[in-house]
Amino acid sequence: MRNVVEQLVEEVFDHCRNNQDGAPADYIPELAAVDLDSFALCLATSDGHLYAHGDADRPFTIQSVSKPFTYALALSEHGMDAVAERIDVEPSGEPFNEISLDPVSGRPRNPMINAGAITAAALIPGSDVAERFEHLRSYYSRFAGRELSLNEAVYTSEARTGHRNRAIGHMLRSFDIVDGDPDEAVDLYFRQCSIDVTCRDLAMMAATLANNGRQPLTDDKVLDPELTRRVLSVMTTCGMYDAAGDWVTAVGMPAKSGVSGCVLAVLPGQVGVAVFSPRLDQHGNSVRGVAACRELSRRLELHFLRVTREARSTIRSSHGVDAVPSRQRRAPEERAVLDRHGSRARVYELHGDLLFAGTEIAVREITAQSDNLDALVLDVRRVDDVSAVAHRLLARMRLALAEQGCESALIDPERRGTPAHDERVFDDLDAATQWCEDLLLERHGGGVRIPTKIDLPAHPLLRGLGQTDQDHLIGEFAIREYGMDEIVVQRGSPRSGLFLVLAGQVSTTLPGIDGATHRVTTLGAGMSFGEIPMLVGGEILADTRADTPTRLAVLSPDRFDRLTAAAPQLKLLLLERLAATAYGQLDSVFRIVAGQGDLG
């Protein structure tokens, strides 16, 4: 089955692809020669899973999206205090290439404008420009998870036309912000901007920042978590230049744009987003890039102020119904079917705050296993907050599952946002598991189902006896009828007899310490109860109530006792069958306890 998150990202891509607004950067000749219709959108989760659409493998130069990574390297090499002596962290409210310093501090206002970026480049150690560039290129590559390279043609074009940046470099040198030859710092800046990346690369670089500075696929700790927070903070306020306020309001993710047409955005702890489309707006930001990020943020609720407590929630546990059966007692033939096919029905228990990232993880894992499923149950009882995007993603996944033949249900006693018409919403695990079992028996049982009603001679306890013995025992039983919800046997009462279910359904229940009544087991036609008290004596341990109109055959305690003298061989035969039935009951209880651990 196709992942519904992938479908949603593709919908955003299609929503933005026809936007023809904007124009490419024309002050760098090589950038003006690109294919204006090129478009790529990638979303990478903080554990490294990538959703990619469009020209995701087409290379382009990183341009100003390099600035956060050079700033990160400068922080790693010199520490926050030393870098802060050269570069402020205040929004400028000016174009990215403004030739100015802060009038009070005398420093570049932040590392995301050209003045601050050139200063950050000047802080990269090395004996010459080539060595310093190799240090930068290698560092960028660690974020991407693969080796990146220089685009010589773009570098040459930038170096030939970058007079304004050289002016900025010399201004920085004149105020002692940059030490040494300013042309070397500017040349290094040209080189870092000319590194080739793909949209996939940028998404993984963003995911590394989202993952607290650790590359999700290589597990390389590229940037210290404290420094990661510093970089993301500056990206939040300064990354989109003089459009930063509108960006934070509408999109709500730390971000950086580049004049090649790329945008990188980060939702800490959750995802990294990358977009490439060369047409730019008046701020120098990709038109489609901004639109795609807006749409993703809206549809997936990625605004960083939406995060309440945890950045992700995920699957707490999962199991097949073969491992954790319901308390519906099954005939041996049914049990055999469920043992063979129980793995085709699966329960997933979710927990925490179910925002986009947690839902995406659940959807991804379930989708990967869905081809072999007939039934799926999502247990959301331990989920604290269910966002609107979680509801939408889970609803779309359930629809997609149904189209491929997998039915689904929820365990959601609080009915938090569940459509009123959805009948497959259960209050507890046991009811949902029984629904799964019934579906599997219907699909794979080959007609092996216990009948809804039987005659007394057909009951397994009597079936197969000789005619004389069977007639004798039938004569000892009395037939009783019970209405729905009527008590058959009450907890604490003395032994009440041996009960054979001929029609309908009964359940035994116990009160829990939570004050609720919990089902122990449910019995249908052809099953029996009361065996153990009849064999060992003592009080009844649980209530037994008719779930439906029920017909029972009852062997009273006094008639059972009289068989000792009247028909000792028949009673011995009956005891053997009762012992076997009681053992089967214990086996069923052990399976339930081993799988579920309690009566909830």
- Name which of 95-99, 246-250, 370-374, 419-423 the model is least confident about: 419-423
Report the candidate in 229, 237, 313, 234 with the shortest Cα–Cα distance to residue 268: 229
| Phi and psi based region of residue 108 (left: phi greater than 0; alpha: psi -120 to 50; beta: remaining) | beta
Q: For the chain, what is the mean pLDDT?
A: 89
pLDDT of residue 599: 36
Task: List Cβ<8 Å contacts ≥24 apart for 213-220.
Answer: 215/142, 215/143, 215/145, 216/44, 216/45, 216/46, 216/47, 216/48, 217/48, 217/145, 218/142, 218/145, 220/142, 220/145
pLDDT of residue 30: 77
CB 453 within 8 A of CB 503: yes
State the pLDDT confidence band at 595, using cuts at 50, 70 and 90: low
Rounded distance, CA 253 to CA 268, Å?
Answer: 8
The single-letter code of the amino acid at 3 is N
DSSP 8-state assignment for residue 239 = T
Q: Give the right CATH number for 315-444 from 3.30.930.10, 3.30.465.10, 3.20.10.10, 3.30.750.24.
A: 3.30.750.24
- Residue 424, classed as helix, strand or coil, is coil
- Does the pLDDT of residue 580 top 90, yes or no? no
CATH number of the domain at 456-596, please? 2.60.120.10
Q: What residue spans in the chain does CATH classification 2.60.120.10 cover?
A: 456-596
State the pLDDT confidence band at 598, using cuts at 50, 70 and 90: very low
CB 465 within 8 A of CB 541: no
Q: How many Å separate Cα 446 from the centre of its chain? A: 36
CA distances in angstroms from 222 to 135, 140, 219, listed in the order given = 13, 9, 9
CB 222 within 8 A of CB 213: yes
pLDDT of residue 399: 93
- Does the pLDDT of residue 280 top 70, yes or no? yes
Q: What residue spans in the chain does CATH classification 3.40.710.10 cover?
A: 4-306
- How many residues does this entry show for the chain? 600
pLDDT of residue 597: 47
Cβ neighbours for 496, distance < 8 A, ≥ 6 positions apart: 489, 530, 533, 540, 557
pLDDT of residue 487: 94
Q: Give the right CATH number for 4-306 from 3.40.710.10, 3.40.980.10, 3.90.650.10, 3.40.50.620.
A: 3.40.710.10
Q: What residue spans in the chain does CATH classification 3.30.750.24 cover?
A: 315-444
CB 276 within 8 A of CB 58: yes
- Give φ, ψ of 431 to 5 degrees: -65, -40
| Number of other CB atoms surrounding residue 485 within 10 Å | 9
CB 96 within 8 A of CB 118: no
Report the candidate in 129, 141, 140, 137 with the shortest Cα–Cα distance to residue 188: 129
- Does the pLDDT of residue 600 top 50, yes or no? no
Q: Which two tokens stand for residue 4?
A: 């519904």
pLDDT in tens, 92-111: 656 666 777 888 888 999 99
pLDDT in tens, 282-301: 888 999 999 999 999 999 98
pTM here? 0.75
> What is the residue-wise DSSP string for 153-185?
HHHHHHHHH-HHHHHHHHHHHHTTSS-S-HHHH
